[in-house]
A and B are shown apart, each in its own frame.
Chain A
Amino acid sequence: MDIKLLKQNMLAAGKALAIFAVVASALVALTYQITKNQIAANERESLLKSLHVLVDKDQHDNDMYVDNITLSVPKLNYRDNPITIYRARQNGKPVAAIFNVTSPKGYSGPIKLLIAIDNNDTVIGVRVISHKETPGLGDAIDIEKSDWIRVFEGRSLSNPTEKGWRVKKDGGEFDQITSATITPRAIVKTTLQTLQYYTAHKQQVFAKSQGEKDAQ
């Protein structure tokens, strides 16, 4: 085949591919535009729903979806990613903070948690957002499967003291889950570290976030 013909063929093929690529991207872009707002609303609703399980709607008057802060806390960061904290306020006064943290040492991968702590440094509650623990064993940390995760409700750094912040098998106060010790151990540790951070750095947790500063 002579070079000229080859060039012509390549050019034609390139053109055809380009046309299809443009049409395909246009369709995807159009769908994106149509669904964009709905997806954003879904994500907002979905997040607020999980936050409101821990801090009731009546207990705060701010929009937690917007009122959040991203902080880098070496002990709580997961793979060097900073953590996000949602703040609940009533008449501008702090009511509670909900930490979105990841416990790195689950049995089969990281466990994503929401940990809510009130203004008196007491844990309101903990919920698992996502995990890869074994179905039927470690997945008892999920509120849909068992009530285990409620063991943290009402706990603080003095209840129990630091030594007690372990599973019973390790000499602490928290029940483990039958046939799954690693999973609860990871969650107890992360909850303790979050509580310690919150108690020591409450100012920072409720500080104005970057976005708010910019707005002023």
Chain B
Amino acid sequence: MLSNYGKIAVDSLWHNNPILVQLLGLCPLLAVSSTFINSLGLGIATTLVLIGSNVTVSMIRHKVKQELRIPIFVMVIASFVTIVELAMNAYLHELYKILGIFIPLIVTNCVIIARAEAFASKNDMKSSFIDGLTMGLGFTFILLLLGSMREIIGQGTLFSQAHLMFGEGFREMQVTLISDYSGFLLAILPPGAFIGIGLLIALRNVIEQKRKARLARQPVLPVAEHNQA
């Protein structure tokens, strides 16, 4: 049986994945996911903000009045986004230049306020930390999937421009999967992102349906009955 934290993690990554199930944060997702490295950059930045805001919101949840919580959550989130933005500008300057406007726009990513409101304001700090971390990872995971898909189909490479994130030594990390590939523009342009995310959501639904059908065929276990009671 899964521990409470394990359950939060499974929820964030699969049952309640921020993108595939909650359909939150699609704007930065669609805009930035043109390559693997861009996706990784935005994913990490978003995860950091999510953890920071979840922990802070959970910490102050008893001190904030009901009617004041939304403006205060917004303030907490905006501060964390600014801090992450400054830190990226200082320590990951090249990547910062590429992601540009999408770093400050993390503030508008609904995943963050949604988790603050739906989870962190009702749970203790440790659970909120786990929720922020795993929701961030769930977001990053889908970003990376979409980024890889679009990069491979769009330009036939993977991990291009890795040096922007890890330094000059990683320039060689780029894998050219299809040589002499002239590129498939649709995948790089925004429609490619929409089609890609549509396919990913469909794939998740197919897997989920099969899983449910399999569960339905199995006889109900005594343990489950006990739990229900």
Contacts and interface: CB of A to CB of B under 8 A. Distances in A.
28 contacts: A12-B65, A13-B67, A16-B65, A16-B68, A17-B71, A17-B75, A20-B75, A20-B76, A21-B75, A24-B78, A24-B79, A27-B79, A28-B79, A28-B83, A31-B82, A35-B86, A39-B86, A39-B89, A39-B90, A43-B93, A46-B94, A46-B97, A135-B183, A135-B188, A136-B183, A136-B185, A136-B188, A137-B185
Interface of A: 12-13, 16-17, 20-21, 24-25, 27-28, 31-32, 34-35, 38-39, 42-43, 46, 134-137
Interface of A is mostly: helix
Contacts of A43: 93
B64 interface: yes
A136 to B, nearest CB: 4
Given A16-B64, A24-B76, A135-B189, A35 B87 contact: yes
A134 B154 CA distance: 13
Interface residues of B, number: 26
Nearest to A37: B90
Given A46-B97, A135-B185, A137-B185, 7 more contacts: A12-B65, A13-B68, A17-B75, A39-B90, A135-B34, A136-B183, A136-B185
A32 B75 CA distance: 17
Contacts of A134: 185
A12 B63 CA distance: 12
